[in-house]
Structure 1
């Protein structure tokens, strides 16, 4: 009972404290706090919540309570002494490094409990490198650092744990997480699904197209692909199976659609805010850069779904089974207006993203209360304590990522890795370096949250790509995309396996199908590295041509992939279509960013697709008549 009460207090503190910090209410009240003086205790409460929520036994007891209180005390100690330590020259005394060791050990154990073993082992390995890396030979030899100095540095320096990453999570990201949780509790998932059903449910392969639209809408504000799958997939997967989609295809479509929320503006699983801070550019610039690749991702999935439905003659749902558009909009307007306000405030309202999210959350809360959606104590508890519970893993990831950044700085590992990778790039070329980077992002991302993947790889690999002449924004997006793809890439493929469980189908078949449906996400990052116009870094003409050529390539490839059985002569056609698609896609790079010939190739590729579609529809109509 005591442990449960403490856990709820921690969850409420994480939410309310995050809102207070995001609104800068301490300054308004005349309370002067250095950022680390707030971030330390905030992280301590997150660690405490992790121990209380993930006990060693069946329920939390004395051990978990002691660990929780020790975590809070060790980080509060930092806050009480931080201002003095800034000017203290007495060296690393026991009063500094003992609480530091306690704080770091408890942080890493909490990370293991909540975030998994992958990121925990990675951070411990880097800590070991920080202590013993001086024994290695150059170029990987580290600067020599004692245990006491390393622990105190990670614990107290604003370039380490209480630094930039934790500051972003504890303010901006929490504001958007609150908006997403409020959407979930007040029924946005059902509203978005009904809206998608009203638009798409009656069309060919309708339930699959509903899955794409609903998951894209909800995923754009949700920070978790798994949560997206569990929210929309429980409706869309049974509908897809009922209308004739094979179970593994239904699960893969939902997995790919839900994972796409991580790369779709405006939230992008919290990475957009981190990227904007790392690159020192406007949040709106990151969102605009993400827009076209996200549209191409969903276009590729949509065309493949339509091709499957056409080939297998899969009909949509009867209109009598579907919600009507006008009544759906009449009840769902409370979710649309806050999103419109959010976008307006971010792009034209001259406000910070965190403030815009809090204003949208307040507006949605008022609408929800007005329409009677938040009536019960259970719903309010889900909102307050559920939001706090969702904050815990983000805060822990931020702490672990801060430790990684700190070790990179104090040991010199960042510079050493950059040197090694640049030499690798000189020997293998840019393409070889990109392939290695993509594989590293996928492998490191298996079992690790996408935010953590991005933070770690942005510190290690992004500077190397930039040193090889890649646009800084393109380098960061390349790393981010391949980190997200770890959710769809076997053998881990978390999104595909969760969806397979809902569909009651084979996990491996679902994983490979998910890779096929998301193939464009494996390819177009290479396009924007060589032609940044795809990220809107270039003239409008260059952007228009690269989008047209990429769309044409996607159309041709999805047409080739729609061939169910490829015999010998059919295989020649199949391979030819892939080669044509690659040629069209690369044409802006080979012929020039504003080449007229590239535009002509794009028009020819799109025309070829429409011609093939017309021929297939004519054959289908003839078969139906017979």
Structure 2
């Protein structure tokens, strides 16, 4: 029976992405199959629930019980797909043959989520579900409008505002194709190519391996769409290299976690979340890329500065020339990867194709060129393993997408979303817009713990973004704000899943890694507040306003670098010096938000920061020269 369970589980993991890819390529329509997206979503969700339930069985001795439960759960989702057309007309009758399978399907979804993603996120779904059924008993302003139980079940099970709604549809049609692109990139040795490319570019510089981690993780992360997957792909190369050349284990883990996390805010792909944002905002994809450019540059530039400071403080050097691959040989060995990425960008920006289709076309091209390169001598077990791995990554994402549909559906149907927006509006009226932004950031970080970026972004923009926009935050700024804070939950203690994974790879302390990651990635916690008050940071303003805010941020980021160095001032301890300079750096970075987008005070802050940086750098250089002479 164990063998049957393994066969069913493996089949589910392979079938799930295959069905999604066939749907994205319009294959069913080519054969005259009159399917709609909700039917395909339900089929894939049924397969994902089956895989989730079988991945962690209840009864190891009586495995057949788990197999039966998983098959029944999958059948309940298939039942909706089979009856979709008829139910669209008869939904209001809510007969037992409709709502009983619906109830089983929803319970199995929550249980599959618990088994694959843990208790916390499943508990959130159960709490929201309880509110959806019994919220009319809650006193005060949070009292809910509750429907009849059978109506609530059918609303969640079969309505486009429930589980088979926007979130999971976006995962199937947009996120999955880019996951395929990332997997093909792995098959074509893309990670090795990016690592070698980064080594040849910055490996010889001070603290070279750490800078390699930044470049390689940024390249790969923009396409992988998963902080953990990025860490596992790049970290196995970069973390040991950083430790071997002098970085502490904690430093190596923190650098890799923050660098890998930043890939999803780096244009042009942004881990596929940019396409979701474009759809939510109803703007061209190019507008999202343009808005994300300056913050992404500042994120990685500040990280680069801080890594250089750590390398200086540790007295590190770059790698020897013998350890650095040739730039020309690296390009020669991976030219098909660059061409495929170029084709992807051309299709995205120069054609009207669906972004998911663009990703699949580019994936197919990369795979074909790679096949010709290796003379079609594929390692079949490796290909099968890659497909199973893709299914293992996709199935939990589908379960989370379904859970997000439950949360969003109940928030809307019970009126909770409106009541929450009203409460946030009252709070902002009483305490100011900054208090609302601070609370929104905390909510984003808490909800983001353990959830993929795309899922938490959609939940947050549904609940929080309307209030932010109503109170004067620009729509693009509000969406980017929530994206950043949802993403930063991956490296923010106490959960900090990205930091935990990196710490395990480095055999470092989880807590030390998390707090150091928070410090070296601090710019990502500050910049969203800046553009909420001054959207010029997102290129929404005059050239003068953009130039001032960019100068502020750049000068502030350099002061943040200096805060990581030992104190050059006699009598001032390094810990106090570091905190003072860090506060000054953050203040300069926030100058336009504090004083205005084109104020004289903001310009003066930049000039003062530059002068201070020059004085500190000169003092530090003199101390080093003196120490070198004495040695």
Structure 2 CA distance for aligned equivalents of residues 120 and 498 of structure 1: 21
State the match for 1:602 in structure 2: 606
Structure 1 CA distance for aligned equivalents of residues 106 and 345 of structure 2: 39
Number of corresponding residues? 626
Structure 2 CA distance for aligned equivalents of residues 135 and 55 of structure 1: 36
Structure 2 CA distance for aligned equivalents of residues 456 and 566 of structure 1: 48
What are the equivalent positions in structure 2 for 1:8-87 lying under 5 Å apart? 8-57=10-59, 61-87=63-89
**Preserved CA contact (<8 Å) 2:400 2:451:** no
What are the equivalent positions in structure 2 for 1:63-212 lying under 5 Å apart? 63-88=65-90, 91-212=93-214
1:80 shift after superposition: 2.1
What are the equivalent positions in structure 2 for 1:568-579 lying under 5 Å apart? 569=572, 577-578=581-582
> Residues 449 and 604 (structure 1 numbering): CA distance in 2 closer, same or farther, change over 3 Å?
same
Aligned pair 1:613/2:617, yes or no?
Answer: yes
Structure 2 CA distance for aligned equivalents of residues 344 and 597 of structure 1: 42
Give 1:585's match in structure 2, choosing from 561, 579, 589. 589
- 3-state secondary structure, aligned to 1:310: helix
1:208 shift after superposition: 0.8
Alignment RMSD, CA only?
2.3
Structure 2 CA distance for aligned equivalents of residues 60 and 234 of structure 1: 38
Structure 2 CA distance for aligned equivalents of residues 95 and 577 of structure 1: 67
State the match for 1:395 in structure 2: 398
- 3-state secondary structure, aligned to 2:141: coil
Structure 2 CA distance for aligned equivalents of residues 236 and 572 of structure 1: 32
Give 2:222's match in structure 1, choosing from 220, 224, 245. 220
**Preserved CA contact (<8 Å) 2:109 2:402:** yes
Q: TM-score, normalised by structure 1?
A: 0.95
> Residues 582 and 498 (structure 1 numbering): CA distance in 2 closer, same or farther, change over 3 Å?
closer
Structure 2 CA distance for aligned equivalents of residues 543 and 60 of structure 1: 65
1:51 shift after superposition: 2.0
> Residues 175 and 487 (structure 1 numbering): CA distance in 2 closer, same or farther, change over 3 Å?
same
State the match for 1:305 in structure 2: 307
1:550 shift after superposition: 0.7
State the match for 1:295 in structure 2: 297
- 3-state secondary structure, aligned to 1:159: coil
| Structure 2: segments with no counterpart, 5+ residues | none
Structure 2 CA distance for aligned equivalents of residues 347 and 124 of structure 1: 42
Q: TM-score, normalised by structure 2?
A: 0.94
Moved more, 558-567 or 227-236: 558-567
What are the equivalent positions in structure 2 for 1:401-420 lying under 5 Å apart? 401-420=404-423
State the match for 2:452 in structure 1: 449
**Preserved CA contact (<8 Å) 1:304 1:562:** no
Moved more, 236-245 or 406-415: 236-245
Structure 1 CA distance for aligned equivalents of residues 612 and 622 of structure 2: 15
Moved more, 48-57 or 459-468: 48-57
Per-residue CA deviations over 1:498-556 (Å, capped at 9, x if unaligned) read 22222222222111111111110111110010011112222333223211211111111
Structure 2 CA distance for aligned equivalents of residues 523 and 583 of structure 1: 10
Give 1:241's match in structure 2, choosing from 240, 243, 246. 243
Moved more, 582-591 or 229-238: 582-591
> Residues 565 and 68 (structure 1 numbering): CA distance in 2 closer, same or farther, change over 3 Å?
farther
What are the equivalent positions in structure 2 for 1:320-469 lying under 5 Å apart? 320-372=322-374, 375-469=378-472
**Preserved CA contact (<8 Å) 2:530 2:592:** no
**Preserved CA contact (<8 Å) 2:496 2:514:** yes
State the match for 1:624 in structure 2: 628
